[in-house]
Structure 1
Amino acid sequence: MKPLCTFLITTTLIVSSFFSAAAQLDGPQRVVVSGGSITEIIYALDEQQRIIGVDSTSVYPASATEKPQIGYVRRISAEGILSLNPDLVLGESDTGPKKVVEQLKQTGINLQILDAHDNFLGIENKIKKIAQLLNVPTKGEQLAQSLQIDRNALAYLLQQASTKPKVLFVLSVRSGQPIVAGADTSANELISAAGGINLAASEITNWKPLSSEAALALNPDVIITMGRHGDDPLPKIEKLAHFKYSNAVKNGQVYSFDGSYLLGMGPRTPQAVVELAHTFYPQTQLPSGYQFRFLQTAQNVTKKQGEL
Structure 2
Amino acid sequence: MKNYLYILVIGSFLTSCGRFKNEDNKQEQKQRIVCISKQYSEIIYALQAQKEIVAVDVSSTYPSEIKELPTIGYHRALSAEAILAMKPTMILEDNNIGPEHVVKQLHDLNIPMKQFGAYQNTIAGTDSLIREMGTYFGKQAIAETLCNTLDADMDLALKNTNTFKTNPKILVIHFGQASNIYLVMTNHSNASKLIEWAGGTMAVDGERSMMQLSPEIVAQSDPDIILLTDFGYDRLGSIEQIAGLPGISTTRAFADSKIYRVEEHDMVYFGPRTGENVLKLQQLIHQDDEAK
- 8 Å CA contact retained: 1:229, 1:259: no
What per-residue deviation string (whole Å, max 9, x for no partner) do you get for residues 106-159 of structure 1?
Answer: 333321134666625232222122223323333322222221232122112112
Corresponding residue to 1:97 among 96, 99, 105: 99
2:199 corresponds in structure 1 to 195
Q: In the aligned structure 1, how far is the partner of 2:50 from the partner of 2:233?
A: 23
2:4 corresponds in structure 1 to none
- 8 Å CA contact retained: 2:72, 2:78: yes
Q: Does 1:164 align with 2:167?
A: yes
The runs of 5 or more residues in structure 1 that have no matched partner are 1-18, 20-28, 287-308
Q: In the aligned structure 2, how far is the partner of 1:124 from the partner of 1:187?
A: 18
Letter in 2 for 1:76: L
1:215 corresponds in structure 2 to 218
Q: Where do residues 142-161 of structure 1 align in structure 2 (5 Å cutoff)?
A: 142-161=145-164
2:109 corresponds in structure 1 to 107
Letter in 2 for 1:173: Q
- 8 Å CA contact retained: 1:169, 1:180: yes
1:47 corresponds in structure 2 to 49
Letter in 2 for 1:193: W
1:272 corresponds in structure 2 to 277
Q: In the aligned structure 2, how far is the partner of 1:210 from the partner of 1:83?
A: 39
Does the C-alpha gap of structure 1 residues 63 and 217 become closer, same or farther in structure 2, counting only changes over 3 Å? closer
Q: Secondary structure at the match of 2:234?
A: coil
1:306 corresponds in structure 2 to none
Q: In the aligned structure 2, how far is the partner of 1:55 from the partner of 1:44?
A: 17
Q: In the aligned structure 1, how far is the partner of 2:97 from the partner of 2:283?
A: 33
2:90 corresponds in structure 1 to 88
Does the C-alpha gap of structure 1 residues 84 and 62 become closer, same or farther in structure 2, counting only changes over 3 Å? same
Letter in 1 for 2:278: V
Q: Does 1:173 align with 2:174?
A: no
Q: Does 1:238 align with 2:240?
A: no
Report runs of 4+ in structure 1 exceeding 6 Å deviation.
none
- Give the CA deviation at 1:79: 2.9
Does the C-alpha gap of structure 1 residues 128 and 284 become closer, same or farther in structure 2, counting only changes over 3 Å? farther
The runs of 5 or more residues in structure 2 that have no matched partner are 1-29
Q: Normalising to structure 2: TM-score of the pair? A: 0.78
Q: Does 1:256 align with 2:261?
A: yes
What per-residue deviation string (whole Å, max 9, x for no partner) do you get for residues 82-124 of structure 1?
Answer: 3433332111331222222222223333211346666252322
Larger Rg: 1
1:22 corresponds in structure 2 to none
- Give the CA deviation at 1:233: 4.4
Supply the RMSD in Å over aligned alpha carbons. Answer: 2.6
Letter in 2 for 1:95: I
Q: Secondary structure at the match of 2:287?
A: coil
Q: In the aligned structure 2, how far is the partner of 1:64 from the partner of 1:94?
A: 20
- Give the CA deviation at 1:257: 0.5
Letter in 1 for 2:156: A
Q: Where do residues 125-144 of structure 1 align in structure 2 (5 Å cutoff)?
A: 125-144=128-147
Q: Normalising to structure 1: TM-score of the pair? A: 0.74
1:59 corresponds in structure 2 to 61
Q: In the aligned structure 2, how far is the partner of 1:114 from the partner of 1:124?
A: 13
Q: In the aligned structure 2, how far is the partner of 1:58 from the partner of 1:240?
A: 28
Q: Secondary structure at the match of 1:46?
A: coil
- Give the CA deviation at 1:265: 2.4
- 8 Å CA contact retained: 2:165, 2:289: no
- Give the CA deviation at 1:234: 6.6
Q: Where do residues 5-20 of structure 1 align in structure 2 (5 Å cutoff)?
A: none
Q: Secondary structure at the match of 1:183?
A: coil
Q: In the aligned structure 2, how far is the partner of 1:234 from the partner of 1:115?
A: 40
Q: In the aligned structure 2, how far is the partner of 1:35 from the partner of 1:228?
A: 19
